[in-house]
Chain A
Amino acid sequence: MGAGEEAIGDRRLTKVVSVRDVWKSYGEVEVVRGVSFDVEEGTTAVIFGPSGAGKSTLLRCVNMLHPPDRGTVFLRDIDLMKAGGKINYYRSKFGMVFQHFNLFSHMTVLDNVMIGPRVVKKIPQDQAKAIALKALEKVRMKDWCNNYPSQLSGGQKQRAGIARALAMDPDVILFDEPTSALDPELIGEVLQTMLDLAKEKKTMICVTHEMGFAKAVASEMIFMDEGVVVETGSPEHFFANPTNERTKRFLSRLTELYGRHEGERRTAADRE
């Protein structure tokens, strides 16, 4: 189950990622408790919810960075829990962008972006360099390619992190709170880069609280709390009439915090 195509209207959508009843615990704590969802080709799914809801853990289960205890994840029609020795190869089909960037601090920006194509895909040096430069150009970081991560601002680091993910030409990009560690004035440049990717029909799964971003690009929003999916739906659904009491409360808290954003202001208006 989970994989394959399904006709919706006259469009045929392909599921790129299908998460099926994923459970994950660390020690005694059950962090993710039976989560399922699908992501269609060329769409963006936004996962949001309070901290400790299991969002980041879920994301790490999706690319088997931390394989789930139960359940599985399909990449197209491949059951990743049964991938065995090929899991590293399949994992390379997922790009990942981290809250704390996780750039390799002993390498220049260019080497950070090149190392994936070089080492994992075994692409020759000069071709890998061309790929890396193209990715860096896309995130407007080409001028910084010979700098070390420690010489960059948070926004620049994150854009380099996005370039590093893009250089692998992944089927899906996973974003783990990409703007949460950034100063407010640096968030915009990263969100703009992500918006560009969404417009190019990259398939993305974003854990984020940027509701303006979600409203602009998400085709599916997933609200998580205490390890389970509480509510899913389109942004219109969430901002107009979320059905679940917990969802309502969480969204109104976000609005209190970030009410100055246009998206949230409308949310507040919608609720009244």
Chain B
Amino acid sequence: MAILRVYGGSVGGLFVSAYERVMRSIPPLVLIFLFYFGIRTTVLEIPGFFAVMLALGLCSSGYQSQIFRGALESVGSGQMDAARSMGMSRLQAIRLIIVPQALRFALPSWANELATMIKDTSLAFVVGVAELMRRTDYVRAATFDPVVPFVVVAGIYFVIVFPITRIAGTWGQEKKRLVTGA
């Protein structure tokens, strides 16, 4: 999508830009409700889990598209000039020269977005999809303990998300190496 935004000409760019705006303006919770209750009852009978995944995915894709767009644009135009000057086609240049560098630029922000999305899955709780948070609440109801289960679940989220943010940091260093290069 980001490639379309940057290299897709005015029509492609406009389409993606509109998409990004819409997706980033709607709270994830509204999207979840829309897909879980709206789409499932009117358009297509999909499992609740998929409805939530779809909602979160669409929401996040708006941000991810922005991240990759920024990354694509931060690969200087000189790289495209150099690739084209040796006879590469536009597609070859994008595939072999621009995207590999843009991915390295994007990884730190992308990892942060991934972490955000993992944490957002807890929103599925409200529509009754049995994700981590909902299951924890079952434990609370069974044990009448309002503290320990939530501390445990906080720990679980931490264990999942911490490595991702750590990797993001390492990739950030890699990015610095690339930026000072060229």
The residues of A that contact B109 with a CB separation of less than 8 Å are none
- Within 8 Å by CB of A168, from B81, B83, B86, B180, lies B86
Interface residues of A (CB under 8 A from B): 60, 63, 65, 88-89, 91-96, 98, 100-106, 115-116, 119-120, 148-151, 164-165, 168, 174
Among B85, B92, B177, point to the contact of A150 (Cβ < 8 A). Answer: B177
Q: Output the nearest chain B residue to A59 by Cβ-Cβ distance.
A: B85
Please state if B88 and A119 are interface contacts (CB–CB under 8 Å): yes
Given A102-B78, A148-B181, A150-B177, A63-B101 contact (CB < 8 Å): no
Residue of B whose beta carbon sits closest to that of A168: B86
Q: A119-B92, A168-B87 are in contact. Are A100 and B100 (CB under 8 A)?
A: no
Which of chain B's residues have a CB closer than 8 A to the CB of A164? 82, 86
Instruction: Report if B89 contacts A (CB, 8 A).
Output: yes
**Which of B89, B101, B181: most chain A Cβ within 10 A?**
B181
Q: Is the interface of B mostly helix, strand, loop or mixed?
A: helix
Residue tally, chain B, CB below 8 Å to A: 23
Chain B CB within 10 Å — which of A93, A115, A148, A168 has the most? Answer: A115
Q: A149 to B181: give the CA distance in the assembly, Å.
A: 6
B84 on interface, CB distance cutoff 8 Å: yes
Closest partner residue, chain A, to B97 (CB atom) = A104
Query: A94 CA to B84 CA in the complex, in Å?
Result: 11
Say whether B182 contacts A98, CB under 8 Å.
no
Complex contacts, B178 vs chain A, CB 8 Å: 105-106, 150
- Inter-chain CA distance A104–B83, complex, in Å, is 9
Residues of B within 8 A of A91 (CB): 84-87
